[in-house]
Chains A and B, each alone.
Chain A
Amino acid sequence: MLLPAASITCGFLVGAVAIIAAGADPLQAYSALFAGAFTNNNAFAETLVSTTPYVLLGLGLALGFRAGLFNIGAEGQFYIGGLAGVFVAYSVHGLPAFVELPLALLCGVAGGFLWAAIPGFLKARFGAHEVITTIMLNYVSFLVASYLIDTPGLMLAPHVSTPKTPEIDPGAALPIIVPGSRLHLGLILALLAVPLVWFLIERTTIGFRIRAVGFNPGAARAAGISVGRTIVLTMGLSGALAGAAGIVQVLGVSHHMTDTVAAGYGFDAIAIALLARSNPWGVLPAALLFGALHNGAGFMQLETQVSSDLISIVQASVIIFVAAPAIVRWVFRLREQPVETVQITQREVETPVG
């Protein structure tokens, strides 16, 4: 707990230096950031709107980390999940909402699962490193999305000035839970996913397999656990959560998709999972932090003329400090912690026998 908190503090300190360098007052800027994220009218609800996809994506990344997999493709899986789900959500009409909504969600989740299972398979079968393949598949997914959305007769809505998909059927939309805001049911779904993923990792045989492979693939293999299958499954589940984030965003907020690349949620999620040290419960506060930064940045810019890009500096420094705990320990004179839970290492995967 101490180390992530210290890393965040360091991140804000670095941000403050940047603000001073830009000729503004960091205290003023940060208080505007805080107001924009929490205390302004409706600000907190908006922060939670931003937090929702972060929670799901962060869980997906954390799950991958537990198997020693670095899924950089969350951004693409987010997109594919959104595409798969939005297609269903604007195509179906007249079904009851309790059928339409789960169906659309399910398609989004399945889209993310299958898309992420591809790099999982490539790693398990051929030893292709998932960092490389997921990055490449990000580009593929962006281009697939813009092709589908820009092409008449595919997913392009008729008679629109900027390319986008048709609006979803109202029955498939996630209902608003705080009247007068944009806060939708997706937040509840994301909150439910936290204990679910925790249970999966810590209490089920699937989670045991994932952790065994993450800690020591050699010993897992010698004990008869199929490392390859576990990698495919874990990547799939990681992508399923990213896909869920994508479709929840569509059904809850935008109600359609455009061909512009997503807001980088999938990359922020890497930082969230690192900050959470791959613990599902830790994802919650980390996602809230990123949601707040995301949401408060605009008001900060409006009030103090400090560019909203500043939060990228804060986020980036937080990641650096999380990744380099030695610096933070030195700054805060913290003692070495013997057990590190996050493991991101390059591992060889031998092809399965038979």
Chain B
Amino acid sequence: MDLDVEWGQVHALLGENGAGKSTLMNVVYGLVSPDSGEILFDGRPVQINGPQDAIRLGVGMVHQHFMLIPPLTVAENIVLGHEIAKAGVVDLERSYRTVSELSTRYGLEVDPKQRIQDLSVGVQQRVEILKALYRGARLLILDEPTAVLTPQEIEGLFDIVRALTAAGNAVIFITHKLAEVIEIADAITVMRRGKVVGVTTPAESKPADLARMMVGRPVLLRVEKAPAKPGPEVLRVEELVVQDDRRQVTVDQVSLAVRAGEILGVAGVEGNGQNELVEAIVGLRPARSGQVLLEGKEITRRPTRDRLRQGVGLIPADRQRQGLILELPIADNVILSDYDRAPYQRWLVRQFKAIREAAQRLVETFDIRTRSVDDPAGSLSGGNQQKLVVARELGTAPKVLVASQPTRGVDVGSIEFIHRRLVAERDAGLAVLLVSSELDEILSLADRVAVLYRGRIVAVLDAAEVEREHIGLLMAGAA
């Protein structure tokens, strides 16, 4: 494959998860060595054998997951590896000054003396960019930089990117979000399955075209759904207070209710208490106070197992850590929470025929692409793994489904499938609590939207009346 990036341009690299975007960029950054082909920098062929070489050439990379040391200050993080030292001792005063100058020069406001752990994600990202600039980067690679930002923070990032390119630098912007590409890019390269399938510009293409290129077939960008016909209340959360692992209150007096036949979306930037809220509802984390009620019955202190059996379904945010056991066969994953119920066991002996049949049924209904239900779940693609989780949870016919980031890291085809499935279940009377940091997902699926900011519900809005801008402000705690 070929990729041409010009100075002074934002070049968007668009593709689904697993299309090879990150691999390609890791080659450029020297983390992975290419099997064949060459890299030209300023027209000269170069050998990049490690990040050190890349940095020397002026290539900087901001990873999706930040590479910062939380207890150290902004300046310390930025100079790390290239410290300003006097007689072997780090000269902190000069470090602070240098970082200050750098941040004014590029208009990236940071306080060099603040600790990383006290900064918001958006500011941390600014530190990452400054770190690259400090090392002399002229070509900046941003890997899915907007995944953890609020809409306002995204605007801020775009301003930074524009300023950088205006000064003659180049930016490679890796993403799978179409709207962003149209807004920020000067040139677009679309990848699919490790190949370049299109090179275009925002002016020449509409989102639908880009989506088709990315997926290889026409894609429905919006979910079609009829207005909700909500029934009785199924799940109620009453003034719930939950602590995280460090004993900080991360869910603060949250109250919400989900009715049968509706999808309640919980919007919010990641890390505002979503995980703790979900875990407290399903019993994976104790509630410090408050109540969780299922059909009016209190379940606040019941173990997870009881809640699942009483009709709570869970799609966990992290399918590899909480959703599936990748080493076990697909069939075992299908009955993971029902392994000790009839007909899957008799006298403590597992009944493999019944297990396989149940798995076979779900694999067919949910179109999970696999050779056999005996293959390990880890052999499935990300999208099919997620479909497997969704299939299992819907297969037990729950009364309420808690779906946390149900389409994270999943290909467009599977997203479409899962979204349609959730809407269909809603129409059949399921209560759905949808927790997602993808605002688009919330806006296209939810009937009502609750906005979570610093552990509190700051607003509950009717989806029909919601404005994107307004929600963005709420998510940032500004309204």
Contacts and interface: CB of A to CB of B under 8 A. Distances in A.
B349 A212 contact: no
Interface string B324-358: 11111000100011011000010011100000000
Interface in A208-260: 208-209, 211-212, 215-216, 218-226
Given A205-B340, A353-B284, A353-B286, A224 B327 contact: no
A137 to B, nearest CB: 28
Nearest to B323: A219
Contacts of A339: 327
Contacts of A220: 325, 336
B345 A225 contact: no
Contact of B336 (A203, A219, A353): A219
B321 interface: yes
A195 interface: no
Contact of B326 (A208, A211, A216): A216
B411 to A, nearest CB: 22
A352 interface: yes
B305 A224 contact: yes
B316 to A, nearest CB: 5
13 contacts: A204-B348, A205-B340, A206-B348, A215-B328, A216-B325, A216-B326, A219-B336, A220-B325, A220-B336, A221-B284, A222-B316, A224-B305, A353-B303
Nearest to B304: A224
A353 B305 contact: no
A223 B340 CA distance: 12
B336 A223 contact: yes
B378 to A, nearest CB: 9
Interface residues of A, number: 23
B324 A226 contact: no
Nearest to A200: B348
A218 B336 contact: no
A179 interface: no
Contacts of B323: 219, 222
A203 B322 CA distance: 24
B328 A211 contact: yes
A219 B339 CA distance: 13
A184 B332 CA distance: 41
Contacts of A204: 348-350
Contacts of B340: 205, 209
B273 to A, nearest CB: 18
A208 B325 CA distance: 12
B308 interface: yes
A216 B321 contact: yes
A65 B285 CA distance: 27
A352 B349 CA distance: 26
A136 B159 CA distance: 60
Given A215-B327, A222-B284, A205 B321 contact: no
A354 interface: yes
B309 interface: yes
Contacts of B284: 221-222, 353
A226 B303 CA distance: 9
B286 A354 contact: yes
Contacts of B195: none
A219 B303 contact: no
Contacts of A203: 349-350
B308 A223 contact: yes
A169 B303 CA distance: 49
Given A204-B348, A224-B337, A353 B328 contact: no
Given A212-B328, A220-B325, A226-B305, 16 more contacts: A204-B348, A215-B325, A216-B326, A216-B327, A218-B318, A219-B321, A219-B336, A222-B304, A223-B308, A223-B336, A224-B304, A353-B284, A353-B286, A354-B286, A354-B301, A354-B303
B339 A205 contact: yes
A79 to B, nearest CB: 31
B332 A208 contact: yes
A247 B253 CA distance: 57
Contact of A212 (B283, B306, B309, B336): B336
Q: Give the 4 A-B CB pairs with smallest separation, nearest first.
A: A224-B305, A223-B337, A223-B336, A222-B322
B361 interface: no
Interface string B277-307: 0000011111000000000000001111111
Contacts of A211: 328
A208 B304 contact: no
A224 B325 contact: no
Nearest to A222: B322
Contacts of B339: 205, 208-209, 212, 225
Contacts of B322: 218-219, 221-222
Contacts of B327: 215-216, 339
A60 B301 CA distance: 35
B11 to A, nearest CB: 36
B314 interface: yes
A40 B340 CA distance: 52
A219 B350 contact: no
B132 to A, nearest CB: 34
B431 to A, nearest CB: 19
Contact of B283 (A208, A209, A218, A353): A353
Contact of B321 (A212, A218, A353): A218
Nearest to B301: A354
A207 to B, nearest CB: 8
B194 to A, nearest CB: 21
B392 to A, nearest CB: 9
A273 B348 CA distance: 26
A206 B327 CA distance: 17
Interface string B232-252: 000000000000000000000
B228 to A, nearest CB: 28
Contacts of A221: 284, 304, 322
Contacts of B286: 353-354
Contact of B348 (A205, A212, A219, A223): A205
Contacts of A208: 332, 339, 350
Contacts of B328: 211-212, 215
A5 to B, nearest CB: 24
B348 A353 contact: no
Nearest to B340: A205
A205 B350 contact: yes
B303 A352 contact: yes
B348 A222 contact: no
A353 B302 CA distance: 8
Contacts of B349: 203-205
A354 B350 contact: no
A212 B323 CA distance: 12
A224 B398 CA distance: 15
Interface in A164-209: 203-206, 208-209
B300 to A, nearest CB: 9
Nearest to A199: B349
A239 B323 CA distance: 31
Nearest to B347: A204
A221 B345 CA distance: 20
A319 B321 CA distance: 31
Given A204-B350, A224-B337, A219 B325 contact: yes
A354 B307 CA distance: 13
Which of A203, A206, A221, A226: most chain B CB closer than 10 A?
A221
